[in-house]
Amino acid sequence: MSQITTHVLDAALGGPARGVGVVLATAAGVEVASGVTDEAGRIADLGPERLDAGTFRLTFATGEYFAATGRDTFYPVVSIVFAVADGGEHHHVPLLLSPFSYSTYRGN
């Protein structure tokens, strides 16, 4: 199982957000991995099997996604900073997105 997974849902359309670019980086900005959401709005394998404990950032290219769907957005980029306490655990970081709001939580 991958260390980091994500799922992006477009709340305004009521479905998955396909084609969203995502970058996983350290708090210092060193890129660890990147990917693009699939037809289900998921990236099931983002990053290494194990991370060192520390702070990481997932950055979602929301402006490019909304432009591709012909919509404006207030948030051209969404960055979620989170802490990894146990590098062997799985971390699922979902994003619920609309052009003018977003939310996230620690999934499983």
Write out pLDDT tens, residues 70-90: 999 999 999 999 998 887 788
Confidence of residue 2 (pLDDT cuts 50, 70, 90): low
Average pLDDT, the chain: 93
- Distance CA(97)–CA(14), nearest Å, equals 10
Could you give the domains of the chain?
4-101 (2.60.40.180)
- Distance CA(67)–CA(45), nearest Å, equals 25
Contacts of residue 104, defined as CB under 8 A and 6 or more positions apart, other chains included, come to 80, 93, 94, 95, 96
